[in-house]
A and B are shown apart, each in its own frame.
Chain A
C-alpha cells in the first residue's frame, strides 16, 4: 500500500512542474494575445491597448498569471482558440477519442504481435526464424512513422488501391463498422510497426535471460515436462519486464501519432496539434500539451502500479 501511495505522490509535483513548463514555454512566444483583437485596417490607440492589457491582466507578474491560468484549468476552462474562437476543452473532448482509438488499436496489435513473435523466436534462438525476424525488427525500429506512413500510403492506397488514403470514413456513405475498420488499418498499422519491433526485441531478450535462471534449472531437475516449464515458469517471468516497456512506449506513440494523423488526415489531436502550432494558436497548443502530459504521467503511474502488483519484489525497494 505504501508503495502505491508513494508512486502516486511523486507524480503530483511533476504534474505541477509540467504545467509551469507549458506556461513558461508559451510565454516565451513573441506577440501578444491582444494582437488577435486588433483590426489591422482600423488600428488601435495607445490608450485602448493599455486598457485591454489591464483588463486581461497581461501586466500582472508571471507567477500571478500562471496561478490564474492554473485555477481556470482545474475548473475545466482551457480558454478559446485564437484561430476561430472555439472552446478548447470542447474541441479536445471531440478529438481525443479518435486519437485514443488510433493509438489504442496500434498498441493492442503491437503488444500482442510483439510479445507472441518475441516468445516464438526467443524459444528458437539461432534458428532461421530467429535470424529473419531479428533482422526485420532492426528495419522496424529504424522506420520512423513519417517514412512508414508515406510508403504505406503510396503502396496500399495509391498503387494497389486496397485501402482509403485518409479520413475516418467514406464521405457520402452511411457509417459502418467495416468502412471505419478499412480507414483504421493504414494509420494504425503505420503506428504499430515501430512498437511491434521494439516489443519483440525486448520479449526475445527477456525469454533468453529467464531461460538461464536458477529456478528453470530447478524445474528441470524436478523432472517437470518441458511445456510445463515453458508456460508455467519461463513465460510468466519473462513477460514481466515487457509490461514496463509497453507502458513507457506512450511518448513514442504520441510522437508517431503526430505524423501518422497528418499523413492520413486522421482528425485526432495529433494532426490538430501540428495545425495549431503552425498557425500559432497558443490556447489550443497549451491544451493539447496538457492532455499529452496528463496521459503520459497516467500511463507511467499505471505501469508502476501494474508492475508492483504482478511483481511483489518491486514494492520493497
Chain B
C-alpha cells in the first residue's frame, strides 16, 4: 500500500500528538509519570502484594524492626508496616482523586458562571472566592472537621468544598477571554441555552489549560489529607493512610526508636507529591497555548 505523505504528516501534527512530543522531551515529567504509575499500581494491587492483613493486630510481633518476616517492620500493635503503607496509598490516592474531582467540579461551575455572565454574578462570586481564600484551607477544614466527624467521605467532601477557588479563578479568566469568540456567538444565535453554551461549547477549550491544574489539585488534596490525619482529625484508625501512619512520629519514643514506622509513609508522600509535580510541570509546558503553534 502506498502511504499518503500528507496523511502521515497530518497524524503527527495533531495538537495532542504534538503535546505528547513536548511532554516526552521532559525527562523529569517522564520520571514523574513512571513513579506515579508505580505508586498507583502498588496501591491498586495491594491485596495481591501484601503479606499480612493491614489491620491485623499481632501483639506477639509488636514493635519489630525490619526483618525477613516483616520487611518494613511492625508498629506498636504488631501490624505490618509494608501492608499498611500499600493500603495507606489506596486511601491517600482515593482521597486525592475524589477530592480533586469535587473541587474541580465546583470550580468549573462557579468559574464558568462568573466568566460567562460577568456583571453582578461575577462580582458576587469573586468576592465570595476572596473570602474563602483569606483562610489557609487547613484552618477552615480543621475547624469544620471537628464537628462533622471523621471518616473518608467527610474528608473528601471537606477538602473538595474548600479547595475550588484557584480553579474557579482560572476557569473564569479563560471563559472571559473565550466568550467573545465567533463560535460562541454562533452557538448563541442558533438558540443554544446558556448552560449548553458554557459547558458544551466553551468548556472544551478550557480543558487544556485546566489539565495541569488538575495535577496540582490532586497533590493539594493528598497533602491536606495527610496534614489533617497528622493532626488527628483526618482518616480514623484502624484504616491506614499515609497521614495517620506519619502521625505516630508525633510521640517522641516512636520518632526516636521506631523510624521504620514513619519513614515509609513520609517517603511515599514526598515521592508521590514530587512525581505529580513533575507531571504537572511537564503538562503545563506541553499544553501551554504559547507553544501550540
- A contacts, CB < 8 Å to B: 13-14, 17-18, 21, 25-26, 28-30, 135, 138-139, 141-144, 146-147, 150-151, 153-154, 158, 165, 251-252, 254-255, 258-259, 262-263, 273-274, 277-278, 280, 285, 289, 292-293, 296-297
Contact between chains at B226 and A273 (CB < 8 Å): no
Number of A-B contacts (CB under 8 A): 114
B28 contacts which of A25, A138, A274, A293 (Cβ < 8 Å)? A138
Bound-state CA distance A13–B128 (Å) is 11
Contact between chains at B134 and A139 (CB < 8 Å): no
* Least CB separation from B259: chain A residue: A154
**Residues of B close to A26: CB separation below 8 A:** 143
Contact between chains at B274 and A292 (CB < 8 Å): no
A274 contacts which of B135, B231, B269, B278 (Cβ < 8 Å)? B231
Contact between chains at A297 and B231 (CB < 8 Å): no
B143 contacts which of A135, A144, A158, A277 (Cβ < 8 Å)? A277
Q: Chain A: interface secondary structure?
A: helix
Rounded to whole Å, the gap between the CB of A33 and the closest CB of chain B is: 14
Contact between chains at B139 and A25 (CB < 8 Å): no
**Residues of A close to B233: CB separation below 8 A:** 277-278
Contact between chains at B262 and A150 (CB < 8 Å): yes
Contact between chains at A259 and B227 (CB < 8 Å): yes
Contact between chains at A141 and B277 (CB < 8 Å): yes
**Residues of B close to A144: CB separation below 8 A:** 223, 226-227, 269, 273
**Residues of A close to B259: CB separation below 8 A:** 154
B230 contacts which of A138, A254, A259, A292 (Cβ < 8 Å)? A259
**Residues of A close to B130: CB separation below 8 A:** 14
The answer to whether B203 has its CB under 8 Å from any CB of chain A is no
Bound-state CA distance A252–B250 (Å) is 22
Contact between chains at B227 and A138 (CB < 8 Å): no
B142 contacts which of A28, A142, A277 (Cβ < 8 Å)? A277
**Residues of B close to A21: CB separation below 8 A:** 131-132
Best-surrounded residue of B138, B219, B256 (most CB of chain A within 10 A): B138
**Residues of B close to A289: CB separation below 8 A:** 135, 139, 143
Contact between chains at A154 and B138 (CB < 8 Å): no
**Residues of A close to B227: CB separation below 8 A:** 144, 146, 255, 259
Contact between chains at B142 and A280 (CB < 8 Å): no
The answer to whether B147 has its CB under 8 Å from any CB of chain A is yes
Contact between chains at A30 and B127 (CB < 8 Å): no
Query: Quick one: CB contact mask for B119-138 with A, threshold 8 Å, 1 for yes?
Result: 00000000110111111111
Best-surrounded residue of A28, A147, A259 (most CB of chain B within 10 A): A147
**Residues of B close to A285: CB separation below 8 A:** 143
The answer to whether B41 has its CB under 8 Å from any CB of chain A is no
Bound-state CA distance A21–B128 (Å) is 10
